[in-house]
A and B are shown apart, each in its own frame.
Chain A
């Protein structure tokens, strides 16, 4: 549990370390990986079959492993998405029709369809989270800025890139705050509910500190000539014939799965 606690926030340094090294997926075209991300999001959105969503999740884990990224970290990073999805789905779990599975008469009824909804949301969300992590851990920041530069018009590309950096600033600040809390005895081991006020405070302070840090970073960028325009100098490699073939086959599989999902549970 201790390792889970210490590693449930994606760490910028770790992500950069993997994105800058030459792993198997790092050599793939950033365009191909981005199209793969779009395909993953589309697949996770249109597929309704729980079994197919589990297959999609397993595929996302396999891709992550193929990239030679640490599986243990992925387990840690999954904690927050899982908590988030459970928090969202708990609102709908009691209102689903179906065969009762857990029931407290007069208080609540959880049906098989309600549980299935949770399972679907979990695997749908985690598949996209896993592939997103695989994407950013296998794509250098300069490539991501190159993609943003070509995809979005000014100033949206700059807004996108600064937002991307800001997310990691928030993560860094949160990580530091969590470590400081753990150093003084705060822990998830005592249960999320009993320490929820501590974590709420850390989150609130984290956001405030992040803005402060982001302001200082912005000031330092301005001092080095930044005038609202981030210039990209990365030449992006187009997908190879093999990458196009893999993408095409993947599209066909997603379309087929969508069309025939009625016959799969």
Chain B
């Protein structure tokens, strides 16, 4: 900014301010972000959210079945099953159904090693998609009062099931979601995802207080079996069967709750490419399900917070993420080109060295301060998410990585998802 001041000193050129006009496009999104954070904060402090946080783990132990759909997860399936076997729950009330969905690696062998365990049922089937594997598992659990799913690359805390089951004390609750974080995050990318997941913990906890959840994630979401019998099993649903099921539950007038201390740890993509692929699947799943099959719910007051606020905001978040990214690139390129043009011929040493660090030149603008407030709000919710879920581990590196890396990575899956939906392009799961 000091550089610009120097440029203007001699030229007195205020035309630079005209070039700033694209920034105006950011204001609506900043307003919406700020409003959403304020809404989250108010809801976090409201009675239903407080009651959720104070809720004790279930003492009752109804009959439960956990389905583990699995496709080529030979490295993680063993750990997943072991974590299920370690759950603090009566063994005669908990059955585990392992469904091999046509794996081509050593998954079959690992699964078969559990044959003979009275708690575990092992099923091998032709590959038919995750939804078909879950449905088969549910079919084989006729006695269960509640059925849960657990991805074969996720691991649960011992008390997670009792925390989840307590959600179903309310007879209107048809599904319950856990508190998901990343399993042993080591790299910067994994730590970034962990911070993001913990932000998601706070988000789900708060939004559940106004029954606004639109996804029951694969890792350890539970369903009231009678409701699944009533509304039907899982569907392919554009590779987002967990999202479609949640939307169907909501459309049928049931509620989806969240167990904020039901900790589950999922493996996360270790490469940027893998992350973008995964998130593209999630985002296209949201866009396609909501825009095609569940369009009637968007903006529909009958569905309360979900219809009026959450689903419309989902679309706005995608559009805003793409627009802000393009705007940022445009402004950066424009600034770079202007700087090159203006400073051309003047020694680089003069251009690069800051000539004044006076407070006077600090570029404080309303947009900058509001952006900092919104960013600070996200950080606060990440900390809250960690505290209320009692998720172990440190967060500082993850939060820094989230601040620095996420804005540069997320737009790519948003753009890719938008392009896929616009062109009708379908991608493979992995």
Say if A and B assemble together. Answer: no
Residues of B within 8 A of A (CB): none
